[in-house]
Amino acid sequence: LAERVLAQTPSSVPAYLILAQAQANLGRLSQAKDFCTKALKIDPLSPQPHYLLAHIAQESMDSDAARQHYQKTLYLDPSFIPALLELSMLLDRPNEQARSRQLRRSAREQLLTLSPDQRIAPYAESAGQLLAHWTGDSETTQDGRAND
């Protein structure tokens, strides 16, 4: 379907991202990167290609490139919750724990603005579940409600 969309609308960033994700899922990381690069040529201010490139870099064991792409994602969209959380994990080492905690706090602030039931792509969890799981928020339950 994405290929048909591109045949009719060659500047469709979502179609390139679908193809990039499909190639990444198949382990074809080079092809996935190519589709992300094409998406960025069309829309250099789109955070999603950088987010996917960060995942591809992590799969390739290139944590420096992953960090750069997560940072670009957050530069373009400071409220991009998955990038906040995943960069915080990447930086969770002794010399960068303060930055890691700061990113988790930012993610928590963003999650608190959402309905606890709202699903956060690409995760299967809701905002409430992510609050409890990723940010260690002991003041919320799994569904995002405050503990009494």
Render pLDDT for 87-144 as a digit per residue (tens, 0 to 9). 999 998 889 999 999 999 999 999 999 999 999 999 989 999 998 887 565 444 444 4
According to DSSP, the residues that pair with 146 across neighbouring strands are 140
Choose between 23 and 9: higher pLDDT: 23
Would you state the pLDDT for residue 133?
A: 83
Q: pLDDT tier at 9 (50, 70, 90 boundaries)? A: confident
Residue 18 CB coordination number (10 Å): 18
List the one residue out of 83, 55, 79 whose CA is nearest residue 71. Answer: 83
Task: Provide the whole-model pTM.
Answer: 0.85
Q: pLDDT tier at 3 (50, 70, 90 boundaries)? A: confident
Residue 91 CA, distance from chain mean position: 15
Which residue type sits at 19?
A: L
Which residue type sits at 85?
A: L
C-alpha dihedral (14, 34, 40, 100), degrees to nearest 10: 90
Q: pLDDT tier at 147 (50, 70, 90 boundaries)? A: very low
What does each C-alpha distance from 59 to 52, 85, 95 come to in angstroms? 11, 17, 23
